[in-house]
Structure 1
Amino acid sequence: RAFSCPVCGRSFQYLSYLQRHSITHSQHKPHQCRACGKAFKRRSHLERHKLTHGGHKPHPCPLCPRRFRDTGELAQHQR
């Protein structure tokens, strides 16, 4: 692994992986939700958050009437 993070020391095989990782140490959150103003470091996190405003919950619990916006929330509910 040739590329080390100067902040935490984590190593990466590719420079692009280190660059993607470096966002975790930044306080900059350029991706802001237009509906509520909450900001995110990554666009993918904003896109996931935006689902909370639409009410679309396609993942039903097989044991109760509740529904969830993604499989991760459903799995957490089932624990």
Structure 2
Amino acid sequence: YHCYWAGCSKTESFGNKPKLTRHVHSHTGHKPHKCTFPGCGKGFVTKEQLKNHETTHTRTKEHICPECGKGFAVKTALTSHMNVHKGAKPYICDECGKGFADSSNLSKHKAIH
């Protein structure tokens, strides 16, 4: 199973159709698995990604942003969040060049192209 999406840089084949389908969702932005935590509603391509995300709502948030006080369960999430305060936009759209502070915002943006 191969991806024939225009401009896709994935050249290796996918072992089965479900794996290819999940990959194609990265192009379309389709995220069928939604978080049901009140006020969240984020979507994910796989059930596994959703389950991993759901722990962000229940885990102790030990890593606190010194700028705004927002808490994070893992240090890498705080590090990524700090880009917002620094004005850093390291995630760049390869189609239009627009930059984003967070990789998930880049993914949402790519879905509009």
**Structure 1-normalised TM-score?**
0.53
Deviates more, 1:16-25 or 1:31-40: 16-25
Shift of 1:24: 0.4
In the other structure, the counterpart of 2:24 is 22
**Which string of whole-angstrom CA distances, capped at 9 and with x for unpartnered residues, describes residues 7-48 of structure 1?**
323233222387142120234322122223612223233223
Instruction: Give the Cα separation in 1 of the matches to 2:71 and 2:77.
Output: 9
Q: How many residues are aligned here?
A: 74
Instruction: Give the Cα separation in 2 of the matches to 1:75 and 1:26.
Output: 28
Instruction: Give the Cα separation in 1 of the matches to 2:29 and 2:79.
Output: 30
Shift of 1:5: 3.1
Q: 1:44 to 1:71 in 2, by over 3 A?
A: farther
Query: Which residue type is aligned with residue 48 of structure 1?
Result: N
The share of aligned pairs that are identical, in percent, is: 22
In the other structure, the counterpart of 1:7 is 6
What are structure 1's unaligned runs of at least 5 residues?
none
Instruction: Give the Cα separation in 2 of the matches to 1:24 and 1:49.
Output: 17
RMSD: 3.5
- Structure holding more strand per residue: 1
Query: Which residue type is aligned with residue 45 of structure 1?
Result: Q
In the other structure, the counterpart of 1:54 is 58
1:22-41 alignment to 2 at 5 Å?
22-36=24-38, 38=41, 39-41=43-45
Question: Is the contact between residue 57 and residue 69 of structure 1 (CA under 8 Å) also seen in structure 2?
Answer: yes
**Structure 2-normalised TM-score?**
0.42
Q: Which has the larger radius of gyration?
A: 1
